[in-house]
Structure 1
Amino acid sequence: MYIIIAEDSAILRDGLAQLLGLRGHRVTTVGDAAALHAAVAEEPPDVAVIDIRMPPTHTDEGLRAAVELRRRLPAVGVLLFSQYVETRFVDTLLADGSAGVGYLLKERVVDIGDFNDALDRVAAGGTALDPEVVTQLFGRGRRSDSLAALTPREREVLSLMAEGRTNAAIARTFVVTERAVEKHIANIFTKLGLAASDTDHRRVLAVLRYLQSS
């Protein structure tokens, strides 16, 4: 997998590049949004890992670069990597309903294996969201009529789906069988009106509905 890391901290970006290189990935590192755009123009990556706050103002340069990247190259996965929970940034990045987006908090990534798994999910068109980001999104009272129809357990299952958990991982969390989880997910799809389709990924659509509902 080809990865571009856009991060102004030289220690962090070089450390990530080295660790990901050891796992067989090809990595390019840049320190600001302008350099990110130039690197993407030269060769689009499978995933871009982007810090939200980069030079020169250290406010939202990374976010704006991520949104522009998704607009021009929707097939490129985008993984925001930040010290802060900025839920409005998730809203902006998901505004077009696209998949292949992640948001992880730097201080909570303690295992390079988990980080690598998140990159794989985002590159494949899935989602990878830190549980704290999901909690704050859910805690803002974000509901729609369809989400209100979900049972408490179905909401918990959908929350874990938004974190990128597999059915097996969700089953372990609740100490139930995978078949029980599959039943919950089927109920979620039904209540959200997500019919089976050859062109749409219902799991991703359910997560986006969860994140974008208001």
Structure 2
Amino acid sequence: MPIDQGPVRKRLRIVVADDSVLLREGLIRLLEEDGHEVLAGVGDGPRLVDAIRTHRPDISVADIRMPPTHTDEGLRAAITARREMPGTPVLVLSQYVEVLYAAELLDDGSGAVGYLLKDRVTDVADFLDTLHLVAGGGVVLDPQVVAQLLARRSGDPLDALTVRERELLGLMAEGRSNTDIARRLVLSSSAVEKHIGNVFAKLGLPPDDARHRRVLAVLAYLQNVPR
């Protein structure tokens, strides 16, 4: 029976990549129970690229570390697939916070990427929300990655942000909508919009500039990723 997620959402066509059969099959079952179609389940980078090339899924979910070296094969496969098929949505999962990997995923500037710690999958509702956000072209980073990004930057325009603006920036980087941000920070929608405008202005990223789309623009700035 599908997991209760409230309003009906799009049924996604998904490719899953993880070298652990137990984890891969568990993820496949979770996704299928939520009503999605898993097109392929693979255990290494080359087969992930082949599966994406063959099926053109709505989104792929991949472990970063897969055979043969168990370092970054999943990430490399995701990047390869996105180079061949620009904008291909990919959500990568990692056991640890590795900020460099998040930067590499953002490098092409096309959005539709997510980076989550594997522990987040246990929060099923949040994981499924992230899945739909990324499939829809959004950018979502794990809150722990966002925290490290903000902590590492100093001596730049980020210092001009107030505590509230930094908090809002972190929520934006997690892919939160204005409505969600307003609820979490106990603010009105108009107040959130004003704060967002202030953040973009202080970072030199005008909100009306199409090249600087919300989260992607802010993350690109924080990471010094070319855009």
Q: Deviations over 1:34-86 (max 9, x none)?
A: 21122112111111111110011101111111111121112211111111111
Amino acid at match of 1:54: M
3-state SS of paired residue (1:35): helix
The count of aligned residue pairs is: 212
Distance 1:161 1:176 in 2: 15
Q: How does 1:151-162 map to 2 (within 5 A)?
A: 151-162=162-173
In structure 2, distance between residues paired with 1:146 and 1:132? 22
Partner residue of 2:177 out of 162, 166, 171: 166
Is 2:53 the partner of 1:41?
Answer: yes
Distance in 2, matches of 1:138 and 1:70, equals 27
The reply to whether residue 175 of structure 1 matches residue 175 of structure 2 is no
Which residue, 112, 118, 124 being the options, matches 1:100? 112
Match of 2:201 in 1: 190
Q: Offset at 1:121?
A: 0.6
| Partner in structure 2 of residue 118 of structure 1 | 130
Describe the SS at the equivalent of 1:48.
strand
Aligned partners of 2:20 and 2:222: how far apart in 1? 30
CA contact (8 A) 1:97 1:208 kept: no
3-state SS of the aligned residue for 1:158? helix
Root-mean-square deviation over aligned CA pairs? 1.9
Query: Contact 2:175 / 2:215 at 8 angstroms: preserved in 1?
Result: no
Q: 1:2 to 1:50 in 2, by over 3 A?
A: same
Which of these residues, 78, 84, 87, is aligned with residue 96 of structure 2? Answer: 84
Equivalent residue letter for 1:51: D
TM-score calculated relative to the size of structure 1: 0.90
The offset of 1:152, in angstroms, is 2.5
> Counterpart amino acid of 1:202?
R
Kept after mapping to 2: 8 A contact 1:168/1:178: yes
Mean CA deviation greater in 80-89 or 105-114: 105-114
**TM-score, length basis structure 2:** 0.85
Structure 1 residues 40-79: aligned runs within 5 Å: 40-79=52-91
Does the 8 A contact of 1:158 with 1:210 survive in 2? Answer: no
Identity among equivalent positions (%) equals: 56
Q: Distance in 2 between the 1:145 and 1:74 partners?
A: 32
Q: For the residues of structure 2 that align with 1:108 and 1:116, how far apart are their CA atoms?
A: 10
Shift in Å, 1:145:
4.0
For 2:127 and 2:26, locate their aligned partners in 1 and report how far apart those are by CA, in whole Å: 13
Query: Is 2:42 the counterpart of 1:30?
Result: yes
Deviation readout 1:86-139 (Å, 9 max, x if unpaired)? 111111121222211111111233222211110111111111211111111222
C-alpha distance in structure 2 between counterparts of 1:144 and 1:90, whole Å: 22
**Where does structure 2 lack aligned partners over 5 or more consecutive residues?**
1-11
Quote the Cα distance in structure 1 between the aligned partners of 2:72 and 2:88.
20
